[in-house]
């Protein structure tokens, strides 16, 4: 296995002693697929999934993002099989707030009973006594942030934190108003929203959170189920002798120091490609070209912290 390295510098979660390398790993793709049921059931090759996790950690990854509703239960069980007993510096971040229907659908799980059960499912399947970070996944819309109070479910997580089974709390798929509401209830260490080179509705929000030292963890950093495609991205990759996905990840890492990336893959080859993005430096002219890819939020200038 490769020797561990510091991947793109580190970031310390606010109010904690958890310092993680900014290049992490997302476990969603370790689950399988059953027809139209995405992220469902075991993968075709469990041993290959275990190999990916072990190489990621051996290469310096000490931040793994997961959820017990991936599979469901599958990814957490694979993580435990691959890595338990866990390295002392490994931070496992999980999510609650969603459940899976028998048809593979993603449905809200916001009641006290559902949230409490989800936390204990994560503890059991990961083999832990306490969860490092639990993100509340807002489910007013499955596809994107939508307004609605998250006070009640977040209060449940705050109570579980007081009981000692959760160390830190974050939020996912949320609006600025929901983030403000959450921060009035409990300290928030990270925000996890859909964000990448071509999907930049939260540009201003990233800068606001950076000022307060809160981590921004973009999910679907490479486009998710619809991989990023851009002529500008392909041209930049050619100029930098890299792959388009490596450039997309490097762009995120250079975007702001509070961004932690969690690309997922079930392939050792793709894992190695993703990790190399942590050492890729994009020149200012190429950065400017990439910044102009999305016109979605053109009124908000990019604030960089090089």
Tens digit of each residue's pLDDT (9 = 90 or more) over 28-80: 999 999 999 999 999 999 999 999 999 999 999 999 999 999 999 999 999 99
Q: Region 288-296: what's the mean pLDDT?
A: 78
Closest CA to 57 of 31, 29, 87: 87
190 domain-assigned: yes
178 domain-assigned: yes
**Which of these ranges, 49-58, 88-97, 160-169, 231-240, has the smallest mean pLDDT?**
231-240
Cα distance between residue 66 and residue 264, in whole Å? 10
105 domain-assigned: yes
pLDDT of residue 227: 56
Question: What is the tens place of the pLDDT at every residue in 4-35?
Answer: 457 889 999 999 988 999 999 999 999 999 99
- Catalytic residue list contains 70: yes
pLDDT of residue 230: 75
Model's pTM, two decimal places? 0.93
149 domain-assigned: yes
Q: Region 135-140: what's the mean pLDDT?
A: 97
The tokens of 154 are what? 């977040």
pLDDT of residue 168: 98
pLDDT of residue 228: 65
Check pLDDT > 50 for residue 298.
no
Question: What is the tens place of the pLDDT at every residue in 216-273?
Answer: 999 988 875 555 667 888 999 999 999 999 999 999 999 999 999 999 999 999 999 9
CATH, residue 136: 3.20.20.100
The whole domain housing 269 covers 10-228+253-280
235 domain-assigned: no
> Of residues 25, 70, 86, 195, which has the active-site annotation?
70
**Which of these ranges, 53-57, 149-153, 230-234, 298-302, has the smallest mean pLDDT?**
298-302
300 domain-assigned: no
Q: For the chain, how many structural domains are there in total?
A: 1
Q: Region 201-220: what's the mean pLDDT?
A: 95
Check pLDDT > 80 for residue 141.
yes
pLDDT of residue 224: 55
Q: Region 129-154: what's the mean pLDDT?
A: 97
pLDDT of residue 154: 98
290 domain-assigned: no
Check pLDDT > 80 for residue 299.
no
């Amino acid at each position: 296995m490769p020797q561990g390295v510091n991947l793109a510098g580190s970031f310390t979660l606010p109010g904690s002693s958890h310092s993680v390398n900014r290049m992490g790993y997302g476990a969603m793709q370790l689950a399988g697929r059953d027809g139209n049921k995405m992220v469902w059931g075991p993968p075709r090759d469990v041993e290959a999934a275990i190999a990916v996790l072990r190489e990621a950690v051996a290469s310096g990854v000490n931040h793994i993002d997961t959820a017990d509703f991936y599979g469901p239960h599958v990814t957490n069980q694979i993580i435990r099989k691959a890595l338990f007993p866990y390295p002392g510096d490994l931070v496992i971040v999980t999510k609650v707030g969603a459940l899976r229907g028998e048809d593979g659908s993603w449905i809200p799980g916001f009641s006290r009973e559902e949230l409490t059960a989800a936390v204990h499912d994560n503890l059991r399947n990961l083999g832990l006594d306490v969860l490092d970070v639990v993100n509340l996944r807002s489910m007013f819309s499955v596809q994107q942030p939508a307004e609605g109070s998250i006070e009640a479910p977040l209060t449940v997580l705050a109570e579980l934190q007081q009981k000692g089974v959760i160390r830190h709390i974050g939020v996912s798929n949320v609006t600025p108003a929901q983030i403000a509401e959450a921060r009035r209830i409990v300290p928030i260490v990270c925000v996890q929203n859909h964000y990448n080179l071509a999907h930049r509705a939260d540009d201003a929000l990233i800068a606001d959170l950076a000022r307060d030292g809160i981590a921004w963890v973009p999910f679907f950093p490479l486009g998710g189920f619809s991989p990023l495609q851009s002529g500008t991205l392909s041209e930049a990759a050619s100029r930098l002798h890299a792959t388009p996905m490596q450039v997309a990840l490097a762009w995120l890492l250079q975007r702001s120091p509070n961004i932690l990336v969690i690309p997922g893959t079930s392939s050792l080859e793709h894992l190695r490609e993703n990790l190399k993005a942590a050492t890729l430096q994009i020149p200012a002219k190429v950065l400017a070209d990439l910044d102009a890819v999305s016109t979605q939020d053109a009124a908000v200038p990019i604030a960089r912290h090089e």
